Amino acid sequence: MGQAGDPKLKLVSDHVEKLLADGFAPVVFCRYIATAEYLGEHLAKRLPKVNVSVVTGQLASEERRAAIEDVDGDHPRLLVATDCLSEGINLQDKFDAVVHYDLSWNPTRHEQREGRVDRYGQQSPTVRATLIYGNNNPVDGAVLEVIIRKAERIRRELGVPVPLPDDNHQLTQALLKAVLLRHTGDRAQRTLDFASGDEAQVIEAQWESAKEKAKESRTVFAQRRLRPGDVLPEFHRTLAAVGGDEDVKRFAERALSRLGAGVEPLPKRGGRVALKALPEDVRERLESEGLEGTLRIDFAYPPGAGCRAVQRSHPLVSVLAETLLERTLASPGDETTPLPGVLGRVGCWVSPAVTERTVVTLLRLRHQLVSTRAGRSTTLLVEECSSVAWRGAQSITLATDIDALELLKPAPVGDPPASARERMVTQALEQLTARRKEIDGWAEARAQVLLADHRRVREAAAARGSYAVKALLPVDIIGLFVLLPKVA
């Protein structure tokens, strides 16, 4: 038919072309498979320089995912899809605009469509959403005037959408009566009056009931007593302890290198890792997690085209961490053929992070947390990793906790002679023995900080009960490292 005989097609074509010109990557949602294929065919002819893809329910679930992954994220792109993509498959990595070509009678469907694009990980500062409807189309008019706008009013009032009840297709019957059985003028056809008609009144009552239930539920479960500022210090400390993208990247790249498989940078984003270069036991662990062959990975989110996003909880990071920990803490075997990936728990090197001799210790602290409420006590064991650093011959404490760990981040710039390294480590171990009481005191101080944090969070949430924290001594020394300044 083409644009000449299909004004809606011309409208969506012009709009999509403008979105692309403005730098957006749109998804056009249709209700029917035939409509999606029709649009895709026309738009591909009109926009020959744009990567136009069509995904419908005719494809299996895995085929849909593969089709989205194959979309070239570095060139102008357009996706035409049915509602098979409105749930389950995230589109925020490669698209930042939604066009509703067909209006759904269920406003929740529009939320689901837009939620595939406008969600966590979306890098575009602006996400566009467009509703296309016909002025002379009585069905579009009823959907727009009555359902969508009413749903939007409820969403603005409550802050969340409330699904429209449509048990036994009562909504469908009411719409058909409004659209097909009224002939009192164009305006009457385009407006569904919920104040008249048995079915319409039932729907209105059900929707209002759902709205009130949602309001009541939000009132019951609302956390109005917990103010964000009360727990902000704990939030920032947690973020610092967990680490961010750069910390994950640094660990993974160094761990893979130690185990024999470096990360080869890709031209634009991410890197390539050949897992076959890893030791057999590590490969078997990764294979059990579904990771094998050559991986394309990216430590940023959203990842580059064709890459997997790797965060701290990704199986690759977990397996690497477990492998290094187990090999480092295992009993020494045949020292002539040490396993790859074993980390030294004692070391000495030249570091750009210090200006004088500095000793950094890695500690494992264990605390006993006792909570008492209504005469009943609950005991929990709390573990945390910490660090203490001191400098100079006078052993002045330089830093603790996260600040001390920061000293270990920069890569070494050199190694001292073996004799000097052995002497420095021996002196540090002697200092460690002399500072045992001081380190235990640090652990007890950390226990009191933990208790204060716990009380503040519990009080902010108006929780009842009493709490006590006791440090379990002695502290476990996980590692000791001597950092030497670079000689000019």
**197 or 210, higher pLDDT:** 210
Across 74-78, 87-91, 228-232, the highest mean pLDDT is recorded for: 74-78
Label the pairing between strands 51-55 and 77-82: parallel
Kindly state the tokens that stand for 185.
Answer: 């003028």
Domains annotated for the chain, with CATH where assigned, are 3-221 (3.40.50.300), 230-329 (no CATH), 346-484 (no CATH)
Residue 223 has pLDDT above 60, yes or no: no
Three-state SS at 384: strand
Question: Is the confidence at residue 81, as pLDDT, over 90?
Answer: yes
pLDDT in tens, 88-129: 788 888 899 999 998 776 667 888 888 899 987 787 889 999
| Helix and strand element counts for the chain (H, E) | 16, 14
Of 205-209, 278-282, 347-351, the least confident:
205-209
What's the gap between Cα 204 and its chain centre? 38
Q: Can you give the pLDDT at residue 456?
A: 75
- Across the beta sheet with 51-55, the strand order is 51-55, 77-82, 26-30, 97-100, 128-131
Residue 335 pLDDT greater than 70, yes or no: no
The rounded mean pLDDT for the chain is 80
d(CA 29, CA 113): 8
Residue type for 437, please?
K
Task: Give the model's pLDDT for residue 7.
Answer: 86
Number of Cβ atoms within 10 Å of the Cβ of 472: 15
| pLDDT recorded at residue 188 | 44
pLDDT reported for residue 230: 67
Q: How confident is the model at residue 184 (pLDDT cuts 50, 70, 90)?
A: very low
Residue 183 has pLDDT above 50, yes or no: no
Question: Terminus-to-terminus CA distance in the chain, angstroms?
Answer: 78
Q: Which residue has the higher pLDDT, 374 or 473?
A: 473
Q: What is the DSSP letter of 146?
A: I
pLDDT at 169 (0 to 100): 56
What does the alpha-carbon distance between residue 314 and residue 245 come to, in Å, rounded to a whole number?
12
pLDDT for 30 equals: 92
Question: Quick one: average pLDDT of 19-41?
Answer: 93
Give the pLDDT score at 138. Answer: 61
Q: How many residues does the chain have?
A: 488
Question: What confidence score (pLDDT) does residue 360 get?
Answer: 92
Sheet holding 271-274, edge to edge: 264-265, 271-274, 294-298, 308-309
Q: What is the mean pLDDT of residues 189-195?
A: 43
* 190 pLDDT more than 50: no
CB 8 within 8 A of CB 132: yes
- Give pLDDT tens digits for 408-429: 888 899 999 999 999 999 999 9
What pLDDT is attached to residue 372? 87
| Mean pLDDT score, 301-324 | 85
Beta strands 26-30; 77-82: pairing state: parallel
